[in-house]
Amino acid sequence: MADPHFGGIKVRHLYKIFGPNAQAHVEAVKNGLTKAELNERHGHVLGLRDINIEIPSGCIQVIMGLSGSGKSTLIRHINRLIDPTAGEVLVDGVDVVKMNAQELRAFRRHQTAMVFQKFALLPHRNVLENTLYGLEVQGMERAKAVDIAMRWIERVGLGGFESKYPNQLSGGMQQRVGLARALSNDAPVLLMDEAYSALDPLIRMDMQSVLLDLQKEIRKTIVFITHDLDEALRLGDQIAILRDGEVIQQGTSQDIVLRPADEYVANFVKEVNRGRVVHVEAVMMPMHPGSSPIGMPIQVGTTIEDAMRMTAHGPDGDIAVVDAEGKPLGVVNLRQLAGAMVSAHGEAQQADASLAKVI
């Protein structure tokens, strides 16, 4: 379970410039010097520009963007594998940037764990030995480390494979070992850098399900890097989209799909199956006095696709949308649900109006 007192992560005014004299160019970048100009005039590369992200405790924060957007550079600032040129990275209220070598070593061992794209398993160690490696580095007593490691091996679905070596496992199984190793450390922050990008699509979907199922219980603060929008929309409680080292939009899956910030984001989301992302409350209409909704009510948070499946064989008419306590919030009908599958802009406006009237 997540530590209820853990304060999450706050990234404030973070800049990263790659080059031998990076500090000398920070002010020029702050004043508007572009990435191309910085490279042409000074031979330096702009990695990140004024990144501001707040990640609540127990949240899955997805950072997405195309290659070269700065997403992997950003995640490596959280455990300070990369030193920033300027800015703060506060983890549980402590600025990682200001940590000395001893503090940083302790922070990496106990506060963060990382899952890599290329698995990063030790080939001469079997599944069990790979899983307990972090606990071994911490100096934990062997019997306790084995007990913890075996518990997580079982949880990620590798029970019975603890004596196998990495070259005896499929890619998906190797990534499960990497996940078990990270979870064994019981760190409040889990960093996942393109963790599933090397996997085949079906295995990738399976690993996403594993992570979502585990997160319901462990409630870690997870930073997940991906270039795949479907993966981002499925996993992210919050999503930040990067381009050329800058955050161009932050929000929930629905924010991103219904209200793209610019044409770049709109092009990202135009082929998305909105029915799997948008919830019924985003398209519901106010319930008029004296109206009598039909059928079983639909709970807030239900996706449009699931709602259509629930109502497809029922009678035509308005269906109540209710909160967790069963209080009616509004109504939807099959025509509205179908329309929301293909329309973003109109339904976003409808959502604003509906929610405003409910509130």
**CATH number reported for the structural domain that contains residue 320 in this entry:** 3.90.1280.20
Q: Is residue 265 located within the same domain as residue 281? A: no
Total domains in the fold of the chain: 2
Give helix 201-218 / helix 171-184 axis angle, nearest 10°.
20
Q: Is residue 215 located within the same domain as residue 302? A: no
Q: Is residue 135 located within the same domain as residue 258? A: yes
Which residues span the domain enclosing 95? 54-269
Cβ within 8 Å of residue 298, ≥6 positions away: 280, 307, 310, 311, 319, 320, 321, 322, 332
Q: Is residue 80 located within the same domain as residue 97? A: yes
Q: What integer pLDDT is reported at residue 335 of this predicted model?
A: 82
Instruction: Among 269, 290, 309, give the residue marking a domain's end.
Output: 269
Q: Does any domain span residue 156? A: yes
Q: Does any domain span residue 11? A: no
pTM of the model: 0.85
Instruction: Among 243, 269, 295, give the residue marking a domain's end.
Output: 269
State the burial class of residue 31 (Cβ atoms within 10 Å of its Cβ: 0-12, 13-18, 19+): exposed
Q: Is residue 217 located within the same domain as residue 259? A: yes
Q: How far apart are CA 130 and CA 123, in angstroms?
A: 9
Q: What integer pLDDT is reported at residue 343 of this predicted model?
A: 57
Instruction: Among 251, 269, 287, give the residue marking a domain's end.
Output: 269
List, in sequence order, every residue forming a beta bridge with 46; answer none if it has no partner: 17
Q: What integer pLDDT is reported at residue 6 of this predicted model?
A: 84
Q: What integer pLDDT is reported at residue 130 of this predicted model?
A: 96
Q: Does any domain span residue 28? A: no
- SS3 track for the chain: CCCCCCCCEEEEEEEEEECCCHHHHHHHHHCCCCHHHHHHHHCCEEEEEEEEEEECCCCEEEEECCCCCCHHHHHHHHCCCCCCCEEEEEECCEEHHHCCHHHHHHHHHHCEEEECCCCCCCCCCCHHHHHCHHHHHHCCCHHHHHHHHHHHHHHCCCCCCCCCCHHHCCHHHHHHHHHHHHHHCCCCEEEEECCCCCCCHHHHHHHHHHHHHHHHHHCCEEEEEECCHHHHHHHCCEEEEEECCEEEEEECHHHHHHCCCCHHHHHHHCCCCHHHCCEHHHCCECCCCCCCCCCCCEECCCEHHHHHHHHCCCCCCCEEEECCCCCEEEEECHHHHHHHHHCCHHHHHHHHHHHHHHC
Average pLDDT per block of 10 residues along the chain, 359 residues long: 78 97 96 94 96 96 92 96 97 96 94 87 96 93 96 95 95 93 94 91 92 94 94 94 95 90 88 85 82 82 88 78 88 84 52 43
